[in-house]
Amino acid sequence: MPWIIILILIALGIIFLLLELLVIPGSTFVGIIGLVALVLGVFQTFSIYGSTWGFIALIGTSLFSIVMLILSLRSKTWKKAMLSTSIESKIDHGVLNYNVGDKGVTISRLNPMGKAQIGDNFLEVASNGNFIDQDCQIEIVEIINNKIFVDLLKE
């Protein structure tokens, strides 16, 4: 019966290490659990079955871990997990022409960025550091690199 527990510990250790590498990278918690399970499985083999079986388990576990690592990195796992499409569309900056002084109304709270309606178009605009509530009259005070800065309309 103890050999079943040792095999389960070693298998869980390898599975957790592969999960750490392929599915949940950067968590380190899963990797530590896997490493502890592997070490515990090999240690139990040494303590229960002696040094001969312990070294066989150590070498076998090491070789199996390396082979599984190589196979998992060679397979198409990474190609399935990564995004391979790219955005080819471009915005036509010539269609929406706005000038300093154009007026509009805020659709959401500018905190300091938010949505506003200027003319018939809904735009993402920014205030000059001030918070502007929803449904306030605004005007464009500055345009820098297609970023529109607005302020409250002064009457």
What is the pLDDT averaged over residues 24-53? 89
**Domain for residue 7, yes or no?**
yes
126 beta partners: 113, 149
Same domain, 108 and 77: no
Question: The domain containing residue 22 runs over which residues?
Answer: 2-81
Domain harbouring 145, CATH code:
2.40.50.140
Counted domains in the chain: 2
- What is the per-residue pLDDT across 106-124, written as a single tens digit (0 to 9) for each? 999 998 899 999 888 888 9
**Domain for residue 118, yes or no?**
yes
* Cβ contacts of 116 within 8 Å, gap of 6 or more: 104, 105, 106, 107, 110, 122, 123, 125, 138, 150
For residue 70 the two structure tokens come to 């190589």
CB 97, CB 140: distance < 8 Å: no
- What is the per-residue pLDDT across 40-86, written as a single tens digit (0 to 9) for each? 999 999 999 999 999 999 999 999 888 877 877 776 666 766 677 77
Same domain, 50 and 107: no
| Distance set, CA 42 to CA 11, 17, 110 (Å) | 11, 15, 60
